[in-house]
Structure 1
Amino acid sequence: MLRLLHIEFQKLRYSKSAKVLSIAYFGILLCIALIVSIEFNFGDIKVRIADQGIFNFPFIWHGNTWLASFLKIFLAVVIVSMTSNEYSNRTLKQNLIDGLSKKEFILSKFYTVLVFAGFSTVFVFIMSLILGYAFSDFTEFSVVMRDLEFLGAYFLKLTAFFSFCLFLGILVKRSAFALGFLFFWWVIEWITLGVIAEFFGKDLGWSVWNFLPLGSMQNLINQPVTRMNFVQSAAGQLNADVGFDYAVHWYEVVIVIVWSALFIYGSYALLKKRDL
C-alpha cells in the first residue's frame, strides 16, 4: 500500500494544478470559518453569524460537514486530472511496463482517494473542534461527542464521489469530458427525479433518487438549515412544522458503499479490458 501511495504522490508532487486546487479547497474552508466568526457592523447593528448557533456542539458536526461537502469538486478535479494524465502523459503504459499490474494501478488510485477523503475529514474535524470550543454554548464532553457520525458520513461521501470521478477518468480519458459527463449525470438524476415524481408521485421519485449514485451520496448528509436555532424559533412562532429526518441511516451507508465498490470494480474492469 505504501509503495503504491508513494508512486501516486510522486506524480502529484509535480502537478501544479493539483497543488493549486488542493490549497484552494482547504483555503476556502478556512476563509468560510473566518468570515462567519467575524462581527460585522451595519450602523448601530452588530451581526456575527457565529452567534446564531451554527458553531454549537453537536450541531457543528452536521453543519460543517454539509457545507464542506459542496467544495469537494476541487479535489474531484484533482482525481480526474490525476487519472486522465496517465493517458495523456503515457505514464500508465510506462507503469505497466515497469511491472505494475493493472490491479495495483487501480489500487494505487483508490488508496489516493482514501487519503484525500481521510485528510479532508481530519481537517474538517480539527477545524470544527476549534470553532466549537471557541463559540459553542455547550462544551461538555458528552455533548461534543454527539453526532460524530456525520464525520463518518462525510468521509464515505467523499470516498464514493472520488471513486465515481476515478471511474469517469478511466472511462473518458480526458479531464474536461469526464467533468462534463459528471455534470451531465447530475442533471440526468434530477430529471429522473422530476419525471418519476410528476407521473408516479413524489414518494416514489425520491425513493428512486435515493438509490442513484449522486442522490445516495447527497442523502448521506441532509440539509441542516431547518435545524438551526433561529429557524426553529421562527417556526415555533408561526406554528410551522419544520421536522426533518437528519440522521445517518445504515441503509444509506450501505447504498453508498455498494456504489463505491462498483465504481472501483468498474474502473478495474475497463482497464483490464483495454489494450494499452
Structure 2
Amino acid sequence: MLRLLNIEIHKLKYNRASRILILIYFTLLTSIALIAAIKFDIGPIKFHLAEMGIFNFPYIWHFNTYVASLLKLFLLLVIVSMMANEYSNKTLKQNLIDGLSKKEFILSKFYTVILFSAISTLFVFSVSLILGFIYSDYTELSIILMDLEYLPAFFLKLVGFFSFGLYLGILVKRSAFAVGAMIIWYIIEWLIFAILGWKAVSWETAQKIKNFLPLEALSNLIKEPGSRLDAVKTVAKQVGEDLSKDFSVQPLDLIIAIAWTFLFIYLSYALLKKRDL
C-alpha cells in the first residue's frame, strides 16, 4: 500500500496544477472559520452568524461537514487530472512496463482517493474543534462527542465522489470531459426523477428511486443543516411551516454509498483491464 501511495505522491509532487488545486482546496476549508466574521449591524438589525449557533457543539459537526463537502470539486479536478495525465504523459503505459499490474495501478489511485478523503476529514475535524471551543455555548465532553457520525459520513461522501471521478477519468481520458460527464450525470438523475414522477409513479416513489442513484445517494449522507437551526425553525413556525425532520446519517444511505464506491472501483479496474494500452 505504502509503495503504491509513494508512486502517486511522487507524481503529484511534480504536477504544478494539482499542487495549486490542493492548496486552494485546503485554504477554502480553512476559510470556513471566516463565516464567524460575517456580521451586519444596520441600526436595530444585528446579524452575526456565529451568534446564531452554527458553531455550537454538536451542530458544528453537521454544519461544517456539509459546507466542506461543497468544496469537493477542487479535489475532484485533481483526481480526474491524475488520470488524464497518465494518458497524456504515457506514464500509465510506462508503469505497466516497469512491472506494475493493472490491479495495482487502480489500487494506487484508490489509495490516493482514501488519503485525500482522510486528510480532508481530519482537517475539518480540527477546524471544527477549534471553532467549537471558541464560539460554542456548550463545551461539555458529552455534547462535543454527539453527532460525530457526520465525520465518517463526510469521509465516505468524498471517497464515493472521487471514486466516481476516477472511473470517469479512466472512461473518457480527459479531465475536462470527465467533469463534464459528472455534470451530465447529475442532470440525468434529475431527468429520471422528473420523468418517473410525472409519467410513471408518484413523486414520493420517484424520490425513493432517485435516492439509489449515485450522486443523490452521496448527497443524502449529509442533509442540509440550515433548517435544523432553532432560529430558522422559529421563523418557519411563524409562517406556518414545519421543518422538523430526521437529519441523522441513515444506515441505508451509508450502504448505498459504499456499494456505489466499490462498483466504481471495480468498473475502473474492469475498464482498464479490457482496454488495450
CA–CA distance in 1 between the matches of 2:198 and 2:130? 45
Q: Which segment drifts farther, 40-49 or 1-10?
A: 40-49
Deviation at 1:38, TM superposition (A): 4.7
Q: Tell me which amino acid in the other structure corresponds to 1:267.
A: S
Whether 2:230 is the aligned partner of 1:229: answer yes
Displacement, 1:275? 1.2
Determine the structure 2 residue equivalent to 1:141: 141
Distance 1:47 1:240 in 2: 23
State the partner residue of 1:180. Answer: 180
Question: CA offset at residue 44 of structure 1?
Answer: 6.2
After superposing on structure 2, the runs of 4+ consecutive aligned residues of structure 1 that deviate more than 6 Å are: none
- Which has the larger displacement, 236-245 or 248-257? 236-245
Look up the match of 2:216: 215
Structure-to-structure mapping, 1:15-34, within 5 angstroms: 15-34=15-34
- C-alpha distance in 2, partners of 1:29/1:201? 39
The answer on 1:105 being equivalent to 2:105 is yes
AA aligned to 1:133 is F
- 1:16-70 per-residue CA deviation (whole Å, 9 max, x = no partner) reads 1111111111112222322433544435654321111100111111111111111
Amino acid of the structure 2 residue aligned with 1:124: V
Contact 2:32–2:64, Cα closer than 8 Å, also in 1: no
Counterparts of 2:109 and 2:241, CA distance in 1: 48
TM-score, normalised on structure 2? Answer: 0.96
How far apart are residue 228 of structure 1 and its match?
A: 0.8
Describe the SS at the equivalent of 2:236: helix
Alpha-carbon distance, 1:177 to partner: 0.9
Residues paired across the two proteins, number = 276
Aligned residue for 1:263? Answer: 264
Identity score, percent: 55
**C-alpha distance in 1, partners of 2:49/2:215?**
30
Q: How far apart in 2 are the matches of 1:114 and 1:62?
A: 21
Amino acid corresponding to residue 130 of structure 1 in structure 2: I
Distance 1:45 1:238 in 2: 20
Structure 1 residues 235, 46: CA separation in 2 closer, same or farther (over 3 Å shift)? closer
What is the TM-score when the length of structure 1 is the normalising length?
A: 0.97
Unpaired runs of 5+ residues, structure 1, are none
AA matched with 1:57: F
1:247 alignment partner, SS class: coil
Structure 2 distance, partners of 1:36, 1:155, is 24
Secondary structure of 2:273's match?
helix
Distance in 1 of aligned mates of 2:12 and 2:247: 37
